[in-house]
Structure 1
Amino acid sequence: MAMKSKLDREAFTMIEMLITLVIVSGILILIMIGSQRFSDPSLQTERAFWASFDSYWKQALYEAQYRGQKTEITIQPGSPVIFHTAKNDKQLAMPKSMHPKQSERILIRSNATVSPRTVAFASDIDQRTYRLVIQMGWGVYHVDRQAA
C-alpha cells in the first residue's frame, strides 16, 4: 500500500479558502444592501403619506359634492399639508424625506371641481420626484413617481 506524502494530499489551501470566503461574503453584502433599499422605512412613510393624502382628498370632494363646502389645500415646504374648510382644518404631516418644490394652494370648489395643476415634490430617497397631477374637472388626480 502506497503512502501519500503530505504534499500530495487533496484539499483546499488556506489561500483558496480565504478567496472563497471573500467572494461569498461580498455576494452576501450586496444582497443585504439591495434588500435594505426596498424595505427602507422612509419609502414606506412616503407611501403612507400618499394613502392618507388620498383619504383627505376624497373627504374634501365629498364635503364639496354633498354639502357644498369648498376646501383649500395648502402645500408649503417645511409645513404639513393643510386641508382648510369652513368648519375645520386637517393637517397631514409631510414625511421628512419629501419636500414640495414650491408653495401651492389648491381649491376644491363647492361644486366639487378643481383647476388643473401639477405639484412637484422632491424625495430624498433615490432623489426621485413625485408629481401630483390634478386633472381638469371633477377632482381626479394621480401621482407619478419619476427617476431623478
Structure 2
Amino acid sequence: MIIIKQLKKSKFGFTNIEMIIVLMITSLFIGITLFIYPNIKNYQRNDEQKFWNSFKYQWDSIVMSTKINKNEKSKITSTIIVNKNNVHFIYWNGVNKSLNIPNTMSIYGNSYIIDIKSGGYVAPATYRWHSNLLKNDYIQTFQLGWGVYHIE
C-alpha cells in the first residue's frame, strides 16, 4: 500500500529507460524508411522501362503481322488505341492484347489511335508522354511507312 502511494506521488514523466526505448523505435522507423524509399523509386522506374519494352515487343509483333499479310485485294488494318490507363493492340485478325500504363506515366490528351495498314504503312505522328517519376517527357515519333517509331 505504501508503494502505491509513493508511485502516485512521483509522476515526473518518462524515465531514462522509457526514453531510450521510444528513441530506438523512432530511429528504427526512420531507418526503415530511408532504406525502403529509394527502392520504391527503382521499382517504379523499372515499371516504366518494362512498359516501353512491352510496347516495343507488341509494336514489332503487330507491324510484322500486318506486313506479312499484305494483300492488295483486302485492306488489312491493325489498330493501336492508347488511352489514359492502357494501350490496346487490335490485330487485323481480331486478336486483342492490352498493356497497362504505369501509374507514374500519363499521355497528353485523352487518347490517340494509330492505324497500321497492309504492308506496314503507318501515318507519321508524334505523341507526348509525361513521366511523373523522372519529371520529364517522352516524345514518341512514328515515321512514315515501314512501321518505325522512336522514343526520345
What is the TM-score of this pair, normalised by structure 2?
A: 0.67
Q: Which runs of 4+ in 1 moved over 3 A?
A: none
Give the C-alpha shift of residue 40 in structure 1: 1.6
Give matches, 1:62-81, under 5 Å. 62-68=64-70, 69-77=76-84, 79-81=85-87
Give the C-alpha shift of residue 128 in structure 1: 1.0
**Unmatched tracts of structure 1, length 5 or more:** 1-31
- For the pair 1:106 / 2:108, whether they are aligned, the reply is no
Give matches, 1:1-148, under 5 Å. 36=38, 40-68=42-70, 69-77=76-84, 79-85=85-91, 86-102=93-109, 103-144=111-152
**Unmatched tracts of structure 2, length 5 or more:** 1-33, 71-75
What is the percentage of aligned positions where both structures have the same residue?
Answer: 27
Give the C-alpha shift of residue 70 in structure 1: 2.0
Q: Contact 1:63/1:70 (CA < 8 Å) preserved in 2?
A: no
Q: In structure 2, how many angstroms separate the alpha carbons of the residues matched to 1:47 and 1:57?
A: 15
Give the C-alpha shift of residue 129 in structure 1: 0.6
Q: In structure 2, how many angstroms separate the alpha carbons of the residues matched to 1:108 and 1:127?
A: 31
Q: Deviations over 1:91-140 (max 9, x none)?
A: 01111111111211001111211011111111111321111111111111
Is the helix fraction higher in 1 or 2? 2
